Amino acid sequence: MSGLIPARAGGNGHRGRILIIIENGPGTRDHRTVKQIGSLVEAGYQVGLITPRGPSDAVYRDHPRIRVFAYPPPYQPRGRLGYVVEYGYSVLAAAFLSVGAAARHRPDVVQFCEPPNIYFPLGWVFKMLGARVVVDQRDLLPELYAARYGSIQKQMLTVLRFLERRSFRGADGVLCVNDYLRERILGVSDLAGDRVAVAGNGPVLAQVSRATSDESLKRGHKYLCCWVGVMGLQDRVDLLLRSIDHLVHGLGRDDCEFAIIGTGEYLPTARALAQELDLCKWVEFTGQLDPDDVFRYLATADLGLDASLQIDVSPVKAMEYMAFGLPVVTFDLPETRVLTEGAAVYAKAGDVRGHACAINALLDDAERRREFGQVGRAKVWDEVAWDHQAAAYLKVINRLCASAARQNAP
């Protein structure tokens, strides 16, 4: 469990039962969910998790405070209709497993990890059973759809807005990852301000502290730049590769290794594009790595890279880069700038040549890298890390759990 899940629960006795439902990949590998489970267990809660089955499930099954209810993952969707099928299957699977969860692990609080905003009918059922419902909104579905497909039709926007409103209005509390999301949620839900809280998504400092560097990861190059994440269409790894192409073949920079760490639907296309651009000597696709191995790369790297165009996202990868004192090269987007100000160089959104020139300039300026790295590291260690953000998360859970206990008291 990489040290994120305490072997024994903290707190004084049994505080309550929390059921977490996640659709977007195995919850036992989802960085935010794993951190939340660790904080809940440390605080003395019992945790149930309804999730697509994943390779990390087994290490959770023997924990006395964690119960995993896993279902076979859906096939990777192909096209927009594929997502309708995936989401429908996931709701039915979660509903089926909720019966067992309610019987064995009757929850005080149910947490839906969204998007997609599809679980509000289950929320009605759990509320009838006396539970409180919290929505943990990690991204905004309309913005995510537009980032994936370039635009959003009026009819689709109407549907997605409807799902958002139903999810938020049916919740007793909503969590989100930045102020942009909070303002949007307040605007579409009419919820009172005290029902929508921000809990960021920074790394766990103990995990950062134990990472060690490994020069062999540079594959003989002088420098190492890293990109870390799940490769969806919206992550724009294509723009990253075109930036690297300009850096290598346009600017003549041949002394840098680029590690693209992670997996996802776009990985096969990314590999093909790297080969087409003749980048295989400089670009390595590592595939899925355990968190400790990811952090070994970051402990070795000189720069952290991002190429997303999502204006509403506070990139987790940037928080991890900054935790290791890595300067960030990224596109100039509102929430990205709020997070990385003073620790990053920005290119105009979508400008791959400007992105490449920013990488080139930073690699040639060790003092500037050091200054940016110090600013970023201090921000994460003093403010952004999960060690600090967990308090906001637990405050919401504690409040809702206490409310459920008062309602269900004999």
Q: Would you state the pLDDT for residue 76?
A: 67
User: Count of H helices and E strands in the chain?
Assistant: 16, 13
Type of residue found at 287:
G
The SS3 of residue 9 is: coil
The SS3 of residue 320 is: helix
Between vectors from CA 40 to CA 114 and to CA 181, what angle results, nearest 5°?
Answer: 30
When divided into structural domains, the chain yields a total of: 2
- For 366, counting Cβ atoms within 10 Å of its Cβ (0-12 exposed, 13-18 middle, 19+ buried), the class is exposed
| Residue 240 within any structural domain of the chain | yes
Between vectors from CA 49 to CA 312 and to CA 292, what angle results, nearest 5°?
Answer: 65
Same domain, 345 and 299: yes
Same domain, 241 and 178: no
| Residue 109 within any structural domain of the chain | yes
Same domain, 28 and 89: yes
| Residue 3 within any structural domain of the chain | no
Same domain, 157 and 253: no
115: preceding bond cis by omega (within 30 degrees): yes
Same domain, 261 and 232: yes
| Residue 8 within any structural domain of the chain | no
Q: In 158-171, which positions are buried (b, 16+ CB within 10 angstroms) versus exposed (e)? A: eebeebbbbbbebb
Residue 262 is classified by DSSP as B
Residue found under tokens 């509403």: 312
Q: Would you state the pLDDT for residue 13?
A: 46
What phi, psi does 335 have (nearest 5°)? -75, -30
Measured CA to CA, the distance from residue 92 to residue 87 in angstroms comes to 9
116: preceding bond cis by omega (within 30 degrees): yes
Q: Would you state the pLDDT for residue 24?
A: 76
Indicate which CATH number applies to the domain containing 246: 3.40.50.2000
| Residue 119 within any structural domain of the chain | yes
Dihedral-angle region of residue 16 (phi above 0 means left; psi in -120 to 50 means alpha; beta otherwise): left
Same domain, 334 and 380: yes
Same domain, 214 and 193: no
| Residue 154 within any structural domain of the chain | yes
Measured CA to CA, the distance from residue 66 to residue 120 in angstroms comes to 24
Same domain, 170 and 50: yes
Contact 46, 11 (CB under 8 A): no
Same domain, 252 and 273: yes
Measured CA to CA, the distance from residue 226 to residue 224 in angstroms comes to 7
Name the token pair of 186.
């307040």
**Regions of the chain short of the pLDDT cut 70:** 1-14, 76-83, 151, 409-410
Same domain, 154 and 257: no
- How many residues are given for the chain? 410
Same domain, 111 and 211: no
Between vectors from CA 177 to CA 311 and to CA 73, what angle results, nearest 5°?
Answer: 95
**Of the candidates 106, 100, 114, 142, the residue with the CA atom closest to the CA atom of residue 14:** 106
| Residue 38 within any structural domain of the chain | yes
Measured CA to CA, the distance from residue 355 to residue 360 in angstroms comes to 9
Q: Would you state the pLDDT for residue 90?
A: 80
* Sign of the CA dihedral running 74, 36, 232, 85: positive
Structural domain including 351 reads: 206-384
Residue 75 is classified by DSSP as P
The SS3 of residue 256 is: strand
| Residue 5 within any structural domain of the chain | no
Same domain, 305 and 221: yes
